[in-house]
A and B are shown apart, each in its own frame.
Chain A
Amino acid sequence: MIRSFKAELVKLRRRRVAVVAIAGALAFAVIASTAVLLSATQTEAPGDRGTTIASLSEAGGATEAFALGISFTGLVVLVLFIANFAGEFSQGTIRTLLMRQPRRLGLLAGKMGALLTFVAAVLLLAEVFTVAASAAIAPSQDVATGSWFGMDALGQAAGDYGTALLGVASWALLGMAIAVFVRSIPVALGIGIVWAGPFEHIIQDSWTSADRWFPGLLLESLAVGGTDEVAFGRAVALVAVYVAIAASAAAVVFVRRDVTA
């Protein structure tokens, strides 16, 4: 597993990948900070879950844009992980790797571990950039930043980071599982996008309890720290069950199936 982890890092440590990751984190920070701070209102309207100038001025205000912004990236993460894993099958590189690392479970775990480590680093970078961008924009929106840089703010930042990482890792594992089952990039992407995108939301329109059970909707609730309908704890617990089942099934399939392409 360690070898596979290191082998994946050889790919991720390239300068081009670093530049793209940094640029992406920076773009995310600017867009999220700008959108959240510019749309902040003076007072919270009834039923409105948006941010206010007052809430942004609290200790968690520094990472509010990060937390809200990251909740919209689930589908992107799903797509990236599907493309990465299914690409290994489509290109035949999984065959090349298995001839070097025949312990299949170790190969899968090592690769996944390296990608999640990379994602964790990019998330951290995105959070730091978002705080910086928010701090730069805050004065123009009359948002006080006095509470942003104390221990309370650090705790809030750590919590937001943990929630973001949990959500992103869950999307990533689901993406990996779909890719391992299907092995074709277009088919896996189709399944992933249709399921997590329109399918669950269409069902949600006619079945109000859908957000309490469907993985994509639960992940949306998890990303925002829970909703009125779905508590954070329930979202975490059910997502963990779904992810564990999907990842275990993918591991079994990956270990047992012949590699013929």
Chain B
Amino acid sequence: MTNAITLRGLTKHFDRRAVVDDLTIDVPAGVVAGFVGPNGAGKTTTMAMLLGLVKPSGGSGRVLGEPLDDPSAYLGRVGALVEAPSFYPALTGAQNLAVLATAAGQDKSQIPELLELVGLAARGDDRFRSYSFGMKQRLGIAAAMLGDPSLLILDEPINGLDPAGVHEMRGLIGRLATASRTVLVSSHVLVELEQVADWLIMIDDGRLVFHGPASELLGATDANVAVAPEHADDLEQLRGILAAAGHVTQAFDDHLEIAVDDSDARGLAAALNRAAGEGGIVLAELRVTGATLEDRYLTMVKNGGDR
């Protein structure tokens, strides 16, 4: 499998601080790669280096087979939305796209189709300043799609969107991900990323924490079995039964949770149900939950949140 992005020891210092530190990753062509990390982890700076906006302090890389230090060789095949969508407020959506298409030497006839794709066909002739945030974000996606890029780089595309906007954007990203296109998307909303990404890159404090198939990270993790008695008074008795059976439980207000290897989870659930029944306890809840990306993220990233 060829790589759309290959980075070797990529480093960026601002003043003397390493914002991106010795980053070595591969992103195979054709995947949707989720880029995860806390605020300030270096995601946007990494993306900016991929786009030639920021010059690396060290390391090397290739994007779509071209060297990282020659962005003009590959940017014609890359579309991007980095940070907030930035357009000319006095120009219409269509005019803004025309400016960008002209600057890139691309055909302007694709603009109506792109506006249609992002659901802005009816508002393409309205000024950018009159757009809602969600519309601005969608125009940013349309701009990124100019020229039918082989690599799409999206930095926090759902940031600031309302739930309906998040739903729309998730669908849009899903439609943009095709076999011939690689999508690199960063997001703090890990549930959303989990639904679209088949490749994951996790960084913290500028350093790589994990990169590889999403299934490798999410599949090889523990699961939880949550069990709740019908009557809260039975919680302690249930805990005793489970402890006697050798299970370490974590108690919550109305239920217990047991961490277990994912492959054993269903068998354990059945055993717990049986043991509870034999102890005269009726269960109101018994469910198996797999570890989420958020669980893994919180485990692997030491601070696990905004800094």
Contacts and interface: CB of A to CB of B under 8 A. Distances in A.
B83 A95 contact: yes
Given A91-B89, A92-B83, A10 B95 contact: yes
Interface in B3-57: 48, 51-55
Interface string A69-101: 000000000000000000000011101111111
A259 B48 contact: yes
B189 interface: no
A140 interface: no
Contacts of A256: 55
B143 interface: yes
Interface string A235-261: 000000000000000000000101110
B104 A96 contact: no
Nearest to B100: A100
Most buried by A among B89, B90, B95, B99: B99
B72 A103 contact: yes
B98 interface: yes
A7 B99 contact: yes
A248 B72 CA distance: 22
Contacts of B86: 91-93, 95-96
A100 B84 contact: no
A102 interface: yes
A49 interface: no
A4 interface: yes
B80 interface: yes
Contacts of B114: none
B297 interface: no
A259 B104 contact: no
Interface in B78-117: 78, 80, 82-84, 86-91, 95, 98-100, 102-105
B71 interface: yes
B72 A102 contact: yes
Interface string A191-216: 00000000000000000000000000
Interface string A215-238: 000000000000000000000000
A37 B71 CA distance: 57
A99 B82 contact: yes
B75 interface: yes
Contacts of A3: 102-105
Contacts of A14: 91, 95
Contact of B99 (A11, A103, A259, A260): A11
A258 B105 contact: no
Contact of B51 (A11, A93, A99): A99
Interface of B: 48, 51-55, 71-72, 75, 78, 80, 82-84, 86-91, 95, 98-100, 102-105, 143, 146
12 contacts: A6-B102, A7-B99, A10-B102, A16-B90, A91-B86, A93-B88, A96-B100, A99-B53, A100-B104, A102-B52, A258-B48, A260-B54
